[in-house]
């Protein structure tokens, strides 16, 4: 082998190792994604995702008056999920997306009328499952675990069946793996 061929091979192996490590990092030591038990129950992950995870993007929910925002939805994921998505164009097994729903307040300031995040209304949590681990659990299907948590209760989901409680809102995003990726510019490579 020539030196050039060895360098190309080493680069390819290094790139593969980086992708593989990103995929592995999405899972915890037990082989489950953060917030997922061995029977498939889902909780809001017990991590400080505001500090330790990356912001995928944010949604502003317009109020009925058409002028003031009534909610802000911040979406977080593990940094390794972004790395893997940028390389493969797919969410890796074990990726967790947490959408934090916040109410807003509106206030007149010297720069104009502004809106800002106020209180937590709840969380949507989605967990990528490429292996179909929980076929008998109604919160799992179409390659994801799906759950909604109301108010401050991070442990008990109000969702009982993803097809009835969650999937309907995601049908327009079916072609992008059920995720509205257009709102997440961080997924696009630099």
pTM score, two decimals? 0.81
pLDDT averaged over 10-residue windows placed end to end, the chain, 190 residues: 39 39 44 85 94 95 80 96 96 97 92 90 96 96 97 91 96 96 90
- DSSP, res 77: E
Report yes or no: 118 and 102 within 8 Å, Cβ to Cβ. Answer: yes
Report DSSP state, residue 42.
B
CATH architecture under which domain 3-187 falls: 3-Layer(bba) Sandwich (3.50)
**Rounded to 5 degrees, what are φ and ψ at 10?**
-65, -40
* SS3 call for 1: coil
């Amino acid at each position: 082998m020539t030196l050039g061929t060895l360098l190309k091979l080493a680069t390819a192996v290094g790139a593969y190792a980086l992708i593989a490590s990103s995929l592995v990092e999405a899972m915890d030591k037990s082989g489950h994604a953060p917030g997922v038990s061995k029977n498939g129950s889902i909780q809001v992950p017990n991590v400080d995702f505001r500090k330790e995870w990356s912001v995928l993007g944010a949604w502003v929910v317009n109020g009925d008056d058409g002028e003031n925002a009534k909610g802000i939805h911040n979406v977080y994921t593990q940094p390794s999920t972004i790395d893997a998505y940028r390389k493969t164009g797919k969410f890796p097994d074990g990726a967790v997306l947490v959408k934090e729903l916040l109410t807003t307040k509106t206030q007149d300031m010297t720069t104009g009328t502004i809106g800002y995040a106020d209180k937590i209304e709840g969380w949507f949590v989605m967990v990528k499952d490429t292996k179909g681990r929980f076929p008998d659990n109604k919160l799992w299907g179409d390659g994801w675990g799906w759950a909604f948590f109301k108010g401050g209760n991070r442990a008990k989901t109000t969702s009982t069946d993803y097809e009835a409680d969650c999937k309907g809102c995601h049908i327009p995003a079916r072609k992008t793996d059920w995720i509205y990726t257009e709102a997440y510019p961080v997924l696009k490579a630099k």
